[in-house]
Structure 1
């Protein structure tokens, strides 16, 4: 046998049920929603809404689901089931719950349902801590409205095209995607703890080089429509900048930060700014354009005066967090001392600086990284955090505690599960989600010593297994250098009898090379940038590998890609690992290997086809940034440094293509321009190489509204060219978006 016999509609239907939205329905998840300062929280899972009071050790229903269902049924004349309440935008305040159901806003309090006349906050709006105000953007300015609908006013009035408050870089603004949902752009701002002021940046993209996207089939019909966006490229002198501003809601005044404009080439600078607990100060991280210098700055919200508290420089990137965009681990204590995360010792550890930024004490140490800070208790001088590298698998996270003087290191969890843990704003307990690739998150509330206060959810996998799912296997292999251990996940084809496998099965490398993150998590249902489970349902063995050059381990491991970004997270490691797996499992057919990925994974998929044609026979590359010389400034400047830019070009290797390659791209992709795919196609034509291409009209970077079609075309391509079969005529339904 060469794989499954004649795939049928039933096989495709089973694969469809392995897609993320359908898998999620079969395993409940817990996302804590803090009430007030976090003494209590609620969550929704498996059709129920649950209230948790850790102080009392209680887990109860947030409300009487049967009574709410009955009340909604009477009020709307529509039958509503208690286990499937159509609640949208729920908000909880003490014992009152407000929500939208069937197009109307309601309040549930004291066992009674009441219609209310209010507009709930939209996804791109931010509610003040006291619940009285909602801040939002309009035409680049910041506006505020009261929750009771009595007031609405602007706090700024000087925005102009290319100069907007709270804006994301045009290339990362998701304009096309948000338009499809009828929503305006996201606005990034932070309320002061007392709800009187707003911290907001102003992004300046005026005069930057523009790119043009053509919408071939506008939603309203008619001629193609031109869309222009600011899109400076690596080494362009022009680049976006931002400044910081404090807006007073009552006085309706603006205080401008006195810092000169800072580079904003990566589009995440605004996630690294925060208010002090008393609201008297603002702190933010400022990174140089080349990312080799990182400053901690202080802003006085009353005057706009700014001060540098701490500066770190490096020969390569100085990262603020283990993975790009994660919450900051920097804490400025009431004493003025600074808790700071740094990779200066080759890992990623916590340091405590004196108030003047001079003297530093290393708080944590060892050949492992601190992955997140959960809580700092200034009174008792303790910090709770997630520690990597405490088990054989360096990516597994455990909960730990240590004194700010570096004494008393204690592991509060001591198992082989990965701990994805959250802490409330007020401290006092932890919400721990412990899982493995085979075990869904076991969710518990832990006290400060790691003891269980409340058991929340302990789901199993029976519902998934009933659909044919089997868990991926965590594996360790050896990198191409012959000595560095690398890790990944391995999905066996559905129905494979591991004791007596029949025939040989093709392999698909499901790739995402970072370098800003890692992807093959030792956790349940980790975000794979795609759907390996569905491909396994179609009879493929699938691997996801974190090669050298990706994040989450040592500084040296991550820096392996610095100056060598064209190697796509060490594709040579992927080749070595797949060969090694083939030796371990003789039923793997390593003469039939495919590769697929999205975005940076799309780049890696096409790169693999031309850089390693001896291994990869079939590739599907979606939204790939195939030549970062013409991509976003951040990738080349932050992650490739000053090295030769020509090494970033996949089109330069086009003549090497020997296998079958399908390129897919959305025509309105603002993040990775569709011209990236056109460049590669042009080079392949010049080299007289055959290539298949699908340009999705109206598609954004995620191609969200057409992804069912993209998945089906991907499956068909691998079935046709790796299995050697004609795919069935099955058609996927559009995927649920919520």
Structure 2
């Protein structure tokens, strides 16, 4: 009898499970992009206007979407425009009705040197609005722009284009119909390529290259990977029409002998000279460029990391000679925290900010251009997170921190200010919640939206000391 009573509920549960069917259509309703229009906005996305302490934002509630204009210096907030008035004025100009509760304004941009006049687009028409006079005019009918070719990588000064062809690197003059292709490399091949698509089998087709430009457009660097010995991985493209297709690509599995081999190559745009940077140290190491000099194309900061992810080195590379100098070494166990393992370079390489768990707690350290430790920026029994803003003039950092404040959950993001040169740390967001950070370009104000599981999000405007302004 006991066995019978045991099997009855078991049989009932199995019947229910067998009767359930996957309802993907219903599940689709709960995807974020489908839920967002029903929920509205939960945070203030501040769009700071030029180098000022003013910003605008849109905010959608059950009553509709409104646009707001905030003057942090004056501690005021107002409607950027009345939505009903704007809808009526647009209708007057183009004779089309729009929903005043959800105006489809896109590409809002304030005019250079102005904090009162801005342009926006609806469909293919650009409008100009003056907040002071409330005057709306049609600025232009926007022709459809011819998209830039996807294979083109423009130099910062827009004079050159880098691209790949037949797995090699090429240059050509931009905006010149008679420009001649200049071949920079001659050793590219399938799976050892200068192209982003290493498995491309076309010969004459231009493709996106792996090239990256120095800021002054005088040099190019390429992080190239040799995957010729790496094993193939096979997947089925079940969405291919009319029949599924087999796709193959190079992929190294854990523990395999052959993995991609990274290398760094530099090209001088004027002389077309090539420099192969010798970064070899560990078998199967990975390399990555963290920074290139902004004023002159003469320096790079590069990270090389062992395959087991337990040791790395930060190196300074002379971009003129290819000489490599190790600045400092880092060991960790069981592996590096790549989410916070950031490196920031200031003053053309004279100051290097590095995040490390060498004490067991994630903290920030300041090094000079020779790899000498200048000071610990933060210390203590807590974890620092991302560097949200670097005030280069004030030599201050605005950072995330976790677990420093007593009585606050260690998973909550708190915002702090620290100096590059002086000891101490200042808490800017004391509320018991997780906080966000969007700062003005002047580094004087920031918008903080904070919330937790049992608290609706709240957005406030703070000054650089954390005081709530609005």
- State whether TM-score is above 0.5: yes
Kindly provide the CA deviation profile for residues 118-164 of structure 1, in whole angstroms up to 9, marking residues without a partner as x: 3467999988878x689886667688997x99899978765653345
Question: Which residue of 2 is the match for residue 21 of structure 1?
Answer: 33
Where do residues 331-730 of structure 1 align in structure 2 (5 Å cutoff)? Answer: 331-333=345-347, 336-391=350-405, 392-405=408-421, 407-423=423-439, 427-453=443-469, 455=470
Which structure has greater strand proportion? 2
Q: Secondary structure, in 3 states, of the residue corresponding to 1:376?
A: strand
Question: Which residue of 2 is the match for residue 162 of structure 1?
Answer: 191
1:419 positional shift: 1.4
Paired with 2:138 and 2:72, the residues of 1 have a C-alpha distance of 27
Asked whether the 8 Å contact 2:267–2:274 carries over to 1, the reply is yes
1:240 aligned onto 2:269: no
The TM-score normalised by the length of structure 2 is 0.68
Match 2:240 to one of 215, 218, 236: 218
Match 2:227 to one of 205, 210, 213: 205
Distance 1:196-1:74 versus aligned 2 partners, 3 A rule: farther
Question: Which residue of 2 is the match for residue 505 of structure 1?
Answer: none
Asked whether the 8 Å contact 1:255–1:303 carries over to 2, the reply is no
Match 2:302 to one of 265, 284, 297: 284
Paired with 1:354 and 1:404, the residues of 2 have a C-alpha distance of 12
- Mark the structure with the bigger radius of gyration: 2
Question: Which residue of 2 is the match for residue 313 of structure 1?
Answer: 331
Distance 1:48-1:166 versus aligned 2 partners, 3 A rule: farther
Paired with 2:54 and 2:173, the residues of 1 have a C-alpha distance of 27
Kindly provide the CA deviation profile for residues 261-316 of structure 1, in whole angstroms up to 9, marking residues without a partner as x: 7999999x65x623445465432333222211222223344555443222212343
Where do residues 259-274 of structure 1 align in structure 2 (5 Å cutoff)? Answer: 259-260=278-279, 273-274=290-291
Question: Which residue of 2 is the match for residue 112 of structure 1?
Answer: 138
Asked whether the 8 Å contact 1:36–1:93 carries over to 2, the reply is no
Asked whether the 8 Å contact 1:390–1:396 carries over to 2, the reply is no
Which structure has greater helix proportion? 1
1:201 positional shift: 3.0
Question: Which residue of 2 is the match for residue 298 of structure 1?
Answer: 316
Distance 1:304-1:355 versus aligned 2 partners, 3 A rule: closer
Distance 1:381-1:216 versus aligned 2 partners, 3 A rule: closer
Question: Which residue of 2 is the match for residue 735 of structure 1?
Answer: none
Kindly provide the CA deviation profile for residues 540-560 of structure 1, in whole angstroms up to 9, marking residues without a partner as x: xxxxxxxxxxxxxxxxxxxxx
1:329 positional shift: 4.3
Paired with 2:77 and 2:340, the residues of 1 have a C-alpha distance of 34
State the Cα RMSD in Å.
Answer: 5.2
Moved more, 389-398 or 402-411: 402-411
Kindly provide the CA deviation profile for residues 427-483 of structure 1, in whole angstroms up to 9, marking residues without a partner as x: 444342322124454334433211345x5xxxxxxxxxxxxxxxxxxxxxxxxxxxx
Asked whether the 8 Å contact 2:290–2:343 carries over to 1, the reply is no
Distance 1:376-1:16 versus aligned 2 partners, 3 A rule: closer
Distance 1:75-1:27 versus aligned 2 partners, 3 A rule: same
Structure 1 alignment gaps of length 5 or more:
171-183, 456-738
Asked whether the 8 Å contact 2:93–2:138 carries over to 1, the reply is no
Q: Secondary structure, in 3 states, of the residue corresponding to 1:319?
A: coil
The TM-score normalised by the length of structure 1 is 0.46
Asked whether the 8 Å contact 2:381–2:404 carries over to 1, the reply is no
Paired with 1:142 and 1:443, the residues of 2 have a C-alpha distance of 49
Structure 2 alignment gaps of length 5 or more:
1-11, 130-136, 200-205
Question: Which residue of 2 is the match for residue 493 of structure 1?
Answer: none
